[in-house]
Amino acid sequence: MENKNVPLKISRLAAALAITTSLISASAALAEETIKVGVLHSLSGTMAISETTLKDAMLMLIEEQNKKGGLLGKKLEPVVVDPASDWPLFAEKARELIDVNKVSAVFGAWTSVSRKSVLPVFEELNSILFYPVQYEGEESQRNVFYTGAAPNQQAIPAVDYLMAEEEVERWVLAGTDYVYPRTTNKILEAYLKAKGVAAEDIMINYTPFGHSDWQTIVSDVKAFGAAGKKTAVVSTINGDANVPFYKELANQGIKAEDIPVVAFSVGEEELAGLDTAPLVGHLAAWNYFQSVESDANASFIEAWKAYTKDPARVTNDPMEAHYIGFNMWVKAVEKAGTTDADAVIDALIGVAVPNLTGGYSAMMPNHHITKPVLIGEIQDDGQFDVVYETAGLVPGDAWSDFLPDSAKLISDWRAPLSCGNFNTETKTCGGKGE
């Protein structure tokens, strides 16, 4: 028997499908109204001491850009995740940002092991990572833009300074046990030996993340420095282990005039958790300090304190790296007229934006930037007095000139080369640029 209700049911089903389709379309349209920006920084665990402030800095930069009208006529929407100082979790969170949240670019990571963890994800999903921290070099990946210092923009100038100004002859290379300190110290050891430093005048020590018992190690450093030659510590110690390390230096009476320490991972944020009085005179090598006098820096500090509603909050070098990288990304997206990764990657090369020291930093074909190099002396207020600055900007070198296998490599992501590790002897590209 004919069911007279069938046309009615079909009509209702069609109406329901139309409503569902309309809702999906409306949801998609809403999603397209914003450009999502990923923030991938540890907000818990051993690296939270350093990374939390970078998350805050990114949120401020995004808010300021939205006040200017956003980007390509759309508002920017931050998507924040916490990889919790867990290196494999960085890869999972990066995939979540790109694949699930559909971010157009990601700003994040601190340690090199976290960056190495996410590299395959960014390559596979063809997204963009801006990495804001000094690192060991020996890498140039198409999907990564390195806005922190390469060794020739931090480690090598720091050693040169100590040799020239402090007449240092014995060297303690102290680091956290992972890829950045080990590779940086491999470069520094080769550099020191090339400068005529004997093997017995180089002491190398590694400790785990979060290491807290420094008594024996600092005693060994003290003994090593008692051999009658001027001694310095070059520190690649990362994260919250710096707090007990510097406390133990003070406990054992090691002063800057006796054995100066130059740090590559201690800035204003880390010093905020320390009694700095006993550390006055120790050094750090960066490309920016809060104490730098420039109009751009004064404006940035004012904006930062207003955003955080905390006049005691400090700025630091990796924050400036995010400031540079974010503004480069904005300029490249505007130049490309799209957030499409391939178009933006191509557009980024050659982009120049103001840095906070009063000049401009440019993105080079090897995906590293030009930066000044500064060495600062710790003051009792937790700030740094700049005691040395390069005359001009130093281009970041992806591959060290002091390691035999790296010295013959160059990186240039422009066509026709489009290679991160081109061997100038064999005239071949090694692959991914790692």
Which pLDDT belongs to residue 169? 97
Q: Is the dihedral of CA 386, 387, 391, 397 positive or negative?
A: negative
Q: Is the dihedral of CA 7, 12, 15, 20 positive or negative?
A: negative
CATH 3.40.50.2300 fits 34-150+294-371, yes or no: yes
Which pLDDT belongs to residue 25? 43
Q: Taking each helix axis from N to C terminus, what angle separates 48-67 and 295-308, rounded to the nearest 10 degrees?
A: 100
The tokens 């960066």 sit on which residue? 286
Point out which residues pair with 360 in neighbouring strands. Answer: 354
pLDDT in tens, 124-146: 999 999 999 999 999 999 999 99
pLDDT in tens, 43-80: 999 999 999 999 999 999 999 999 999 999 999 999 99
* 1 pLDDT above the threshold of 50: no
Give the pLDDT band of residue 272 (cuts 50, 70, 90). Answer: confident
Which pLDDT belongs to residue 240? 86
Which pLDDT belongs to residue 243? 85
* 162 pLDDT above the threshold of 70: yes
Mean pLDDT for 112-121 is: 97
Which pLDDT belongs to residue 360? 97
Q: What predicted TM-score, i.e. pTM, was given to this entire model?
A: 0.88
Dist CA 9 CA 145 (whole Å): 57
Which pLDDT belongs to residue 21? 47
Q: What is the DSSP string of 75-136?
A: EEEEEEE--TT-HHHHHHHHHIIIIIS--SEEEE--SHHHHHHHHHHHHHHT--EEE-S---
Q: Which amino acid is at 146?
A: Y
Which pLDDT belongs to residue 10? 46
pLDDT in tens, 90-101: 999 999 999 999
Q: Where in the chain are the domains?
A: 34-150+294-371
Q: Label residues 278-289 b or e (16+ Cβ within 10 Å = b).
A: bbebbbbbbbbb
Which pLDDT belongs to residue 12? 53
- What percent of the chain has a predicted confidence (pLDDT) above 70? 92
